[in-house]
Amino acid sequence: MTVPHLFRPLALRGLQVRNRVALPPMCQYSAADGLAGDWHLVHLGKFAQGGFGIVFVEATAVEARGRITHGDLGIWCDAQVPALARIAGFLAANGAVPAIQLAHAGRKASMQRPWQGNGPMTAADQEGGERIWPVVAASAEPLEPGWLVPEALDPAGLATVREAWRTATLRAAEAGFGIAEVHSAHGYLLHSFLSPLSNRRNDAYGGDRGGRMRFPLEVVETVRAAWPADRPLFVRISAVDGIDGGWSLEDSVAYAHELKARGVDVVDCSSGGLAGSATAGRNAPRGLGFQVPYAERIRADVGIMTMAVGLVLDAAQAEAIVAAGQADIVAIGREAMNDPNWAVHAARALGLPDGGFAEWPQQYGWWLERRERVLERIRSNSPPVA
């Protein structure tokens, strides 16, 4: 039989990914002092066992002040490496490529966890033991009224952040991750440089699109230089701000050309988030696969691999995206939370040999394949329904 496009292996530099299904970074807000714990191991391990080809650790802060909340993961110090290495090792042992998103929240730092308000931290949060910390951004423009006013990074500050990204990249390599992703989307630090709505600088890092892209591209160059040459680099973008006068798809095409020239392998195409949450749907109409056209346009215009994400729910939809050449990888996010075994279920739905049981961990597939034989016999002997 012809192997479905979704389950054809993908070569990425020195890696061979078993299929085109990825778990995107999804923050759990459950770390202590940036340290990964048992929650992160079990949460992420389920998806490797469930057949995903790539499993991303959530946005992981390159600086302590770059966390979104006190519960974010971090990779700003050596003490955080062993717990991340444990996760990367488990993912790899179960057939997935371990991946990590390196991030800096910028002016969206010092926030409450979503279930505690999802806004800027307040005096009440401080009374509960979680301090408010100063935040930085491209310009001294708060996210919204009532949010912290960030410090605009000066040349020394820019150099400090670049160095933080460099050392975080070295730690990610040491921890055993196969893929690194630079987060330049969703209103976080690098996106605040890209968008004309948040970048009001009048120096070399502001002004026209070339100036606004300068610092994010410097970070990408820094990461690519520190990341092993045989390991792929992804960059997540907000393909559009979805706000009048903001970053556009044409801007993203130009940015992707520059990313490709600097050794980026895959552009991870999301959208929105410059003001408010990227998942709130404030700035763009939402429907099934609503961000797939961004991945398709960048892939076609730039000649770079893309990852599509956003309300991709079932196997047929994901297969159609890859088969049509709209994207090379499909990320399954909240639907994967609903079904951690989404990938192996997709293999079965798309008709892989042996009922897809070969895609399961052998500890499960051995039992399930035999159960299926029993169920088939039961079904074949069932009396007709009146």
Give Cβ neighbours of residue 118 (< 8 Å, ≥ 6 apart).
111, 112, 277
Give dist(CA 318, CA 303) in Å, integer.
Answer: 21
Tokens of 125: 């949060």
Q: Check if the beta carbon of residue 285 is closer than 8 Å to that of residue 307.
A: no
Q: Which residue from 104, 231, 220 is spatially nearest to 176, judged by alpha carbons?
A: 231
Lowest mean pLDDT among 7-11, 48-52, 116-120: 116-120
Mean pLDDT of the chain: 95
Which residues are designated catalytic? 188
**Could you identify the residue written with the tokens 């991709």?**
312
Give dist(CA 70, CA 197) in Å, integer.
Answer: 27
Record the pTM. Answer: 0.95
Pairing of strands 10-12, 15-17: antiparallel
Q: Check if the beta carbon of residue 47 is closer than 8 Å to that of residue 57.
A: no
- Residue-wise pLDDT for 331-364, tens only, equals 999 999 999 999 999 999 999 877 678 889 999 9
> What is the b/e burial string over 63-101, where b = at least 16 CB atoms within 10 angstroms of the residue's CB?
bebbbbbbbbbbbbeeebbebbbbbbebbbebbbbbbbb
| pLDDT tier at 382, thresholds 50, 70, 90 | confident
What's the confidence (pLDDT) of residue 280?
A: 54
Q: Check if the beta carbon of residue 26 is closer than 8 Å to that of residue 236.
A: no
- Residue-wise pLDDT for 146-161, tens only, equals 999 999 999 999 999 9
How large is the average pLDDT for residues 112-121?
92
Whether 261 shows a pLDDT value over 80: the answer reads yes
Lowest mean pLDDT among 37-41, 52-56, 117-121: 117-121
What single letter denotes the amino acid at residue 100?
I
How large is the average pLDDT for residues 179-194?
98
What superfamily does domain 5-351 belong to in CATH?
Answer: Aldolase class I (3.20.20.70)
Pairing of strands 97-103, 136-137: unpaired
Whether 286 shows a pLDDT value over 90: the answer reads no
Give dist(CA 13, CA 256) in Å, integer.
Answer: 18
Whether 169 shows a pLDDT value over 60: the answer reads yes
Q: Where are the domains of the chain?
A: 5-351, 361-386
Q: Check if the beta carbon of residue 19 is closer than 8 Å to that of residue 7.
A: yes
**Could you identify the residue written with the tokens 């279930």?**
115
What's the confidence (pLDDT) of residue 10?
A: 98
Inter-CA distances, 80 with 20, 74, 172, 247, Å: 29, 7, 10, 35
Give Cβ neighbours of residue 157 (< 8 Å, ≥ 6 apart).
136, 151
Tokens of 243: 């706000």
